[in-house]
Amino acid sequence: MSAAAAATVEQRTGEDRGKRIGVFGGSFDPPHRAHVALALAALDQLQLSRLYIVPTGQAWHKARDLSAPEHRLAMTRLAFSGLAGVEVDDRELRRVGPSFTIDTLEALQADHPGAQLYLIIGADQFAALQSWHRWEDVLEIAIICIANRAHPTRAEAGFDPTSRARHAVLTLQLPLMGVSATDIRQKIGAGQAGLQAVAHLVPEPVARYIERHRLYLPG
Ligand code: ATP
């Protein structure tokens, strides 16, 4: 039997039952050290059998234009390469139209029948959850796992979905990390000591990629 046929049989027979599958989406423009720390915390604390890292396609909720999909995908692969159990999934980049998390969750659920999905998000995204397309279905299909962020913290998010969620909403244990992609882009754009200003904020291969492709430099 071919590998593809075996995979199909595996899916039909529900071999993924009981597995824990993590989903961590983001614009990853660029991916930074807090993203990697968050992925590692999720793998460890949730005992995931696999963690999908999903760069967003057309981010309907971000006001600015994102960097080209091929750059964000390449940097995401560099940032997460070598982490056991982690797979970068480009399905949102290949999708035409806006990237909705619920579409990705439903597709992954179909790929892994019987598995439990865990959606990993920072507190800022959690605070905006009620603005997401079909957000109640998101709560239905996945267990939400929140990492605190300096602003807002989970406690400040002002949203308690407990009564709406089919599952519990979990908090990941992760020290507060002030790093953001916005800050990194601004530092590079302002030419602060070249890439040295962000070397401690992004994984080294990502810093080299940014330099080689001259990303985030003004005009
Ligand atoms: P930007 O500054 O461009 O908005 P970002 O740093 O928030 O980007 P994203 O790619 O948008 O990075 O984030 C992907 C996910 O990682 C989101 O759920 C976000 O909340 C979370 N995240 C990003 N940075 C942190 C951080 N420092 N601590 C906790 N969660 C984070």
H, E, C per residue of 160-181:
CHHHCCCCCCEEECCCCCCCCH
Whether ligand 1 lies within 6 angstroms of the CB of 39 is answered as no
pLDDT value at position 93?
94
- Helix, strand, coil abundance in the chain, percent, nearest 5: 45, 15, 40
Tokens standing for 131?
Answer: 């603005």
- Percent pLDDT > 90 in the chain is 63
Separation of 194 CA from ligand 1 center, angstroms? 23
Tokens standing for 174?
Answer: 């992760």
Could you read off the pLDDT of 169-210 as tens digits, one per residue? Answer: 899 999 989 899 999 999 999 876 567 888 899 999 999 999
Strand order through the sheet with 20-26: 86-88, 50-55, 20-26, 116-122, 142-147, 170-172
d(C-alpha 33, C-alpha 214), whole Å? 20
In CATH terms, the superfamily for domain 15-179 is: HUPs (3.40.50.620)
pLDDT value at position 59?
60
Q: Which residue has the higher pLDDT, 114 or 162?
A: 114
- Is the pLDDT at 7 greater than 90? The verdict is no
pLDDT value at position 218?
86
Could you read off the pLDDT of 32-61 as tens digits, one per residue? Answer: 999 999 999 999 999 999 999 999 987 666
- Is the pLDDT at 111 greater than 70? The verdict is yes
pLDDT value at position 191?
79
Residue among 23, 38, 210 whose CB has most ligand 1 atoms within 8 A, to mutate: 38
Query: Side-chain half-sphere of 10: how many Cα atoms within 13 Å?
Result: 13
- Domain boundary assignment for the chain: 15-179
Atom of ligand 1 nearest to the CA of 120: 18
pLDDT value at position 3?
52
- Work out the pLDDT band at 219, boundaries 50, 70, 90: confident
Amino acid at 49: S
Q: Which residue has the higher pLDDT, 27 or 96?
A: 27
Q: Which residue has the higher pLDDT, 7 or 197?
A: 197
d(C-alpha 181, C-alpha 59), whole Å? 15
Whether ligand 1 lies within 6 angstroms of the CB of 179 is answered as yes
Mean pLDDT of all residues in 150-170: 70
d(C-alpha 160, C-alpha 117), whole Å? 20
